[in-house]
Amino acid sequence: MIQEHKVPTAPGIPLLFVFLVLLVGSPLLAILSAVAANFVGFAVWMFLLLVDIFLLTGLFVVNPNEGVVAQLFGRYVGTARKPGLQWVSPFCSRRRVSLRVRNFESGKLKVNDHAGNPIEIAAVVVWRVVDTAEAIFEVDNYEHFVQVQSEAAVRNLATSHPYDAHEEGQVSLRSHTNEVAEQLKGEVQQRLGKAGVEVIESRISHLAYAPEIASAMLQRQQASAIIAARQKIVEGAVGMVEMALDMLSSKAVVSLDEERKAAMVSNLLVVLCSDRHTQPVVNTGTIYQ
């Protein structure tokens, strides 16, 4: 595996000044050679002019948050990261690689979750290149590689967890967003590490049931919500009935036997747990008749 290292470069501004002086001074040599009819001097001028122009092609500019990868006859020479004008051998080919932070948002992928339900999922991956040599030489196209591997990681994540948690302690895509985001980031980083890419953040940007089962799943969620609400109502009603019986007994308001307590508990639970307004009923008899 090719690892990034610094390319040996020379300061560009001093060399640019030298090359410009040679480029301006060489015509003077040509004129003097022509006046003296010195063909050797004229040939030397032509040679120096061509060499000067050739050496000028070795100058290049490195922008902030950018790396320039240099190759000499197919061999990796190194990477220049220091911003400014620099010079390297004109025989070296150069390729620029952006080191800026970039975003990739996958399209809406239709996959099955862990329970087999079809869902739509999309994610945003924040990444940047940290090793220019690996990004250029280890994969064919590192930007396309990021897209394909990120979508593959999102698909794998979706099949590893259910959309909703149906068991206590189960990690789901909808309720455990932080855990799911960390797992997605780790899996994407593992896939992209060989391309010299660092994953800064990765999160789910879209999550929904597929249209064909969305209505059925909505009814299921509503039923689950109703059941959970009813459980809370029953727990509260039992507590209120218990408190009422304790207060009646402690303050000696009325003495109730077990049968009357049962009737009172039944009436209070009906009143407290009913989803409609109760109608008062005047009891003129007794429960023993």
Instruction: Quote the pLDDT of residue 26.
Output: 63
Q: Is residue 198 part of a domain?
A: yes
Same-domain pairing of 178 and 92 = no
Q: Is residue 54 part of a domain?
A: yes
Q: What is the pLDDT of residues 31-76, one digit of tens each?
A: 665 555 556 666 776 777 788 888 888 999 999 999 999 999 989 9
Same-domain pairing of 111 and 176 = yes
Please report, in angstroms and rounded to a whole number, the separation of the first and last CA atoms in the chain.
Answer: 94
Q: Is residue 176 part of a domain?
A: yes
Q: What is the pLDDT of residues 66-112, one digit of tens each?
A: 999 999 998 999 999 999 999 999 999 999 999 999 999 988 888 88
H-state helical runs in 90-195: 132-137, 142-160, 177-192
Q: Is residue 35 part of a domain?
A: yes
CATH number of the domain that 142 lies in? Answer: 3.30.479.30
Same-domain pairing of 185 and 239 = no
Same-domain pairing of 31 and 94 = yes
Whether 162 contacts 115, CB under 8 Å: yes
Same-domain pairing of 75 and 166 = no
Same-domain pairing of 204 and 148 = yes
Element (H, E) at 102: strand 102-105
For residue 6, the 8-state DSSP code is: B
Q: Is residue 3 part of a domain?
A: no
Same-domain pairing of 205 and 259 = no
Length of the chain: 289
Q: What is the dihedral of CA 110, 116, 117, 119, to 10 degrees?
A: -20
Same-domain pairing of 185 and 113 = yes
Whether 143 contacts 100, CB under 8 Å: no
Same-domain pairing of 18 and 116 = no
Domain count, the chain: 3
Q: Is residue 278 part of a domain?
A: no
Coil, helix or strand for 125?
strand
Residues of the chain with pLDDT under 70: 25-42, 45, 166-167, 169, 212-226, 248, 251-261, 264-265, 267-289
Same-domain pairing of 199 and 106 = yes
Q: Is residue 71 part of a domain?
A: yes
The closest alpha carbon to 10, from 63, 98, 80, 71, belongs to 80
Instruction: Quote the pLDDT of residue 186.
Output: 93
Q: Is residue 286 part of a domain?
A: no
Last residue of a domain, one of 159, 179, 209: 209
The closest alpha carbon to 281, from 263, 267, 260, 266, belongs to 267
Whether 175 contacts 164, CB under 8 Å: yes
Same-domain pairing of 157 and 183 = yes
At 237, give phi and psi (nearest 5°): -65, -45
Same-domain pairing of 234 and 265 = yes
Last residue of a domain, one of 182, 209, 236: 209
Coil, helix or strand for 4?
coil
Q: What is the pTM of this model?
A: 0.69
Distance CA 277, CA 262 (A): 22
- For residue 16, the enclosing domain spans 10-98
Last residue of a domain, one of 75, 98, 121: 98
